[in-house]
Amino acid sequence: LSTDGINIAEPEDTLAQGNEVEINYNPNSYWTVRANFAQQESIQAKVGAGLLQYLEERQAVWESVIDEDTGLKWFDTQYQGPNYSSARMYLEGNNVGVPLAIAIAQEGMSLPQIRKYRANVSTSYRLSGLSGNKYLRGLSIGGAVRWQDEGAIGYYAVPAVPPETKMTMLDRNRPIFSPATTAYDAFLTYRTKLFKNRIGATFQLKVRDLTEHGHLEAIQAWPDGTGKVYRIVQPRQFLLTATFDL
């Protein structure tokens, strides 16, 4: 909420909780497997009482102001024309009233925008377990799978009555979800010694997001389910790194 260029904000309490399990497994001395599973949720505990009290106190003042030039309520006048909001429309619409009502309605509920489940599995194998060749024994290959659950990016509107009127409320029971995602990584690592075996060196080629070609992903949605704000998802990346043991 903003008045005279000064933002008025009030913190809200959120209770976060979750569980995490990590597993490390080595089938043999050359092969390693790691897995991580996480479950988390954030519960809307309480909306700031100070903001609600402020709005209640100021409402009576805003309602009482009369424009001396028009004789109409300042609170209801659309000064810039019929295509622009009045102060009441701004306060009670999607800018303040609707998100505030949803926040109040979600007290005690798990917030759907938090991706509840995540899982990661990675593995690597040293080729010295298959061959004693001096070139192959320094090589390791591996990969990873990263998965995350769906997350809410908005809410559908409550159907207007009658239908030809504008939809002004959002339905907190109908979140708009961004789908669950799965990503794949792969890497090739070569470890050797340089300068007459005095300095250890590790070279790694890693491909991140193997199947990703790049796209736009909605992170906020309009009440009809279409995207409102997007982020750029980068295509697969090739990363070459070198580290030295000095």
Closest of 112, 98, 101 to residue 174, by C-alpha: 112
Q: Are 116 and 149 in contact (CB under 8 A)?
A: yes
Task: Note the pLDDT of residue 166.
Answer: 55
Task: For strands 151-157 and 199-208, give the pairing.
Answer: unpaired
Amino acid at 164: E
Q: How far apart are CA 27 and CA 40, in angstroms?
A: 30
Helix (H, G, I), strand (E, B) or coil at 176: strand
Contact between residue 171 and residue 158 where contact means Cβ atoms under 8 Å apart: yes
pLDDT tens, the chain, 246 aa long: 544 455 556 666 777 889 999 999 999 999 999 999 999 988 777 776 777 788 888 888 888 889 888 888 888 888 887 778 888 888 877 677 777 777 776 676 677 888 999 999 999 999 999 888 888 889 999 999 999 999 999 888 877 655 555 555 678 788 899 999 999 999 999 999 898 888 999 999 999 999 999 999 999 888 888 998 999 999 999 999 999 988
Q: Residue 85: what pLDDT? A: 80
- What's the rounded Cα separation, in Å, for the pair 114 and 101? 19
- pLDDT, residue 238, reads 97
* Spatial distance between the Cα atoms of 120 and 181, rounded to a whole number of angstroms: 12
pLDDT at 168 (0 to 100)? 57
pLDDT given at position 145: 98
Res 214: pLDDT: 94
Tokens of 101: 């009502």
- Global model pTM greater than 0.85: no
156 neighbors 112 (Cβ within 8 angstroms)? no
